[in-house]
Structure 1
Amino acid sequence: MNKSVMFGALVAAGFGAGAAQAATLDDVKARGELSCGVSTGLAGFSAPDANGVWQGFDVAVCRAVAAAVLGDPMAVTFVPTTGQTRFSALSSGEIDMLARNTTWTFSRDVDLKFTFTGVNYYDGQGFMVSRDLGVSSARELDGATVCIQTGTTTELNLADYFRANNMSYEPVPIETNAEAQQQYLAGACDVYTTDASGLAATRATFADPENHILLPEIISKEPLGPLVRHGDDEWSDVVMWTLFALIAAEEYGITSQNIDELARGTDNPEINRLLGLEGELGAMFRLDNDWAKRAIAAGGNYGEIFSATIGEATPIGLARGLNAQWTQGGLLYAPPFR
């Protein structure tokens, strides 16, 4: 092949790749709606309220992306997924993104061909038992029956932990959190294990939460966050930087209450760039310059979302812990908007 033909082929391939990478953003804009995969129902994280409107910590990420891209945080179709069905829903294109307390792992990223767009909750696997069981440590669970969601990292971590501690257990496989709750309360299993945040969310729905305890052991690292399909870099950038906008907004003191005032101009160039007053960040992924302002205004900054959905003042009652800003001893850290 001569050089001119080769160059033409490369250019054509490049345009083809660019078109493929832009597909999801274009699809969402054309559809006028974001399709977001969530859990089948986990209090505080993603669950429909009494009016059937989805609410929660993960739901807020979906709504922020919809606000950034479409200008409407309510322009979202929520698709309930289980631990078994969530990845096929994403890979098949049934959903545009997954925001379902999903752990970022090597194999999910590399082998399953997904792109994790950041961490919105740093978690770890724990254990919940009834006080009547009379145990105070996971080391006392030898021979226990354990409710465990199939198709999860939780299932693998449980096997590793019990093997490492020379203990045995009898798994009680379940598909959804609702099924796990039902089986656990019915006495079909002695223990329910999942992410500690999920245990706290589940316990908060019990009629007698004080009679159920979370054991002190945290046996894994579970960085939870939204994910998209491989090969669509523009779309992954949109989801990633929307999450970072929520995190950065908290760091810089941008709230749902003061955002309109700050959007008139500040002495902080980073805030001005984030809110679209300086530079052309939005144009870099084919959005307007108010995309981040809309995302933040949709449900508030990261801290506001945390407090309203799963924080210490809610029935879930989670402290910030590792999910505090890096300036407050936590792990939350947004790259610069410049």
Structure 2
Amino acid sequence: MQTKLVALAATAILGLTAVSAQAAILDDVKAKGYVQCGVTGGVPGFSAPDANNVWTGIEVDFCRAMAAAIFNDADAVRYTSLTSQERFTALSAGEIDVLSRTTTWTMSRDTQLGISFVGTMFYDGQGFMVRKADGIASALDLSGAAICIESGTTTELNAADYFAANNMEFNTVVFVDQDEVVKAYEDGRCDVYTTDSSALAAERSKFANPDDHIILPEIISKEPLGPVVRAGDTQWFNIARWTYFALLEAEELGVTSANVDEMLGSDNPAIKRLLGVEGDFGTPLGVTKDWAYQIIKLVGNYAETYDRNVGPSTPIGLERGLNALWKDGGIQYAPPIR
């Protein structure tokens, strides 16, 4: 009997230790009063600062949504600009709480770096941009061309695979930072700029003459881009994951930042659960029961953040495509809150 009691006590202690470890990041974030978010150096529509150092973008909005869920304050975020080579080290070292920086979900990253991908905020694929005056109509015409690439990315491997598979000569001009890549392309140091198609559209929007550059039709890879957290903290992972799902669920249910207060009176059980009117789905996450209401009220739903940052009416001009909801022909899909 004594042995059993000791064993049960040990199990209880281990359980409490596990719970404590899982709550570590949330406790630290609450103690300091903000979410430290790792972002790019500046990709319009995704994460970029303005002249007053105010950050905007679809990836910035994800961090703002997490802050809204935790603090009821979407501005309780600080941003750390990271290169592709710095990002995972910064996350693993605890220098940031979440990485929301055009990062492709791959098996090796998911299994070897001690990190966990939350979901796919943006379904993308790698493309190529060239100068219209060069008369290039297809990526299959790029053999021997000088190609600007950022090191430490999936871009290098994808391009190498594509050129090898099509028996084309592969000439790269590699840079550590994306800004250096763009500058080299603009200065004519290379013929082609390759990265995720969304980033190509974003960078082109900043050119003095965007219409002088075209994005070729070929998409040569799958690039599921999404936020990342350190592995091992289940509670923090769940907060991040369900923040993403709440953005999607809100769009599917037609709940927006403009009508969310009115929707508090909805008879739809799914809307009641989402907004915390019925049930308490926040406490298990470590937040208040109205966590999703705060996200929607302060940041909006997925469609709102997409449309204002990268949608057709922005300079970037991206249609939803695969990023539409499942019911609208895309593949964005959230499990139910219940």
Q: TM-score, normalised by structure 2?
A: 0.98
User: Comparing 111-120 with 194-203, which one deviates more in the overlay?
Assistant: 111-120
Amino acid at match of 1:9: A
C-alpha distance in structure 1 between counterparts of 2:95 and 2:114, whole Å? 16
Q: CA deviation at 1:210?
A: 0.6
Q: Deviations over 1:213-272 (max 9, x none)?
A: 001110010111111011001001001101111111111100110001112x21110100
Q: Which residue of 2 aligns with 1:72?
A: 73
- Secondary structure of 1:89's counterpart equals helix
1:84 equivalenced with 2:85 (yes/no) = yes
Partner secondary structure for residue 172 of structure 1: strand
Matched, 1:45 2:46: yes
For the pair 1:167 / 2:168, whether they are aligned, the reply is yes
Q: Give, in angstroms, the shift of residue 52 of structure 1.
A: 1.1
| 1:15 equivalent in structure 2 | 16
Structure 1 runs (4+) greater than 6 angstroms displaced:
none
Q: CA deviation at 1:133?
A: 2.0
Residue type of the alignment partner of 1:290: D
CA distance in 2, matches of 1:57, 1:285: 23
Report the Cα offset of residue 5 of structure 1: 2.9
CA deviation after TM superposition for structure 1 residue 155, in Å: 1.1
2:105 corresponds in structure 1 to 104
In the alignment, does 2:302 pair up with 1:302? yes
Aligned to 1:129: 130
Q: Distance in 2 between matches of 1:72 and 1:324?
A: 27
Quick check: 1:216 aligned with 2:217? Answer: yes
| Aligned position for 1:152 | 153
Q: How does 1:222-261 map to 2 (within 5 A)?
A: 222-261=223-262
Contact 1:42 1:177 in 2 (8 A): no
Secondary structure of the 2:146 match is strand
Asked if structure 2 preserves the Cα contact closer than 8 Å seen for 1:37 and 1:100, the reply is yes
Matches of 2:185 and 2:278 in 1, distance apart? Answer: 54
> How far apart are the structure 1 equivalents of 2:195 and 2:228?
20
- 1:98-137 Cα deviation digits (max 9, x unpaired): 0001011111111112111111100000000111222111
Give the aligned partner of residue 57 of structure 2: 56
RMSD of the TM alignment (CA)?
1.1
| Cα shift readout 1:258-291 (whole Å, capped 9, x = no counterpart) | 001112x211101000000000101111211111
Tell me the TM-score normalized by structure 1.
0.98
- Tell me the residue number matched to 1:282: 282
**Which residue number in structure 2 is paired with residue 195 of structure 1?**
196
1:168 is displaced (CA, Å) by 1.5
Residue type of the partner of 2:286? Answer: R
- The residue number in structure 2 matching 1:334 is 334
Contact 1:36 1:77 in 2 (8 A): yes
CA distance in 2, matches of 1:200, 1:298: 27
Structure 2 stretches lacking a partner, 5+ long:
none
More deviation, 236-245/3-12: 3-12
Q: Is the CA contact 1:97–1:227 (under 8 Å) kept in the aligned structure 2?
A: yes
- Structure 1: give runs of 5+ residues left out of the alignment: none
Report how far residue 92 of structure 1 moved. 0.2
Match for residue 316 of structure 1? 316
Deviation digits for residues 291-332 of structure 1 (CA, Å, limit 9, x no counterpart): 111111222111011110100100000000000011100011
Q: Structure 1 CA distance, aligned partners of 2:292 and 2:86?
A: 31
The SS at the match of 2:280 is coil
1:143/1:169 contact within 8 Å kept:
yes
The residue type equivalent to 1:70 in the other structure is F
Letter of the structure 2 residue corresponding to residue 314 of structure 1: T
Percentage of matched positions with identical amino acids: 55
Tell me the amino acid that sits aligned with residue 29 of structure 2: V
Whole-Å Cα distance in 2 between the matches of residues 295 and 110 of structure 1? 30
| Equivalent position SS for 1:87 | helix
Query: Does residue 143 of the first structure (1) align with residue 144 of the second (2)?
Result: yes
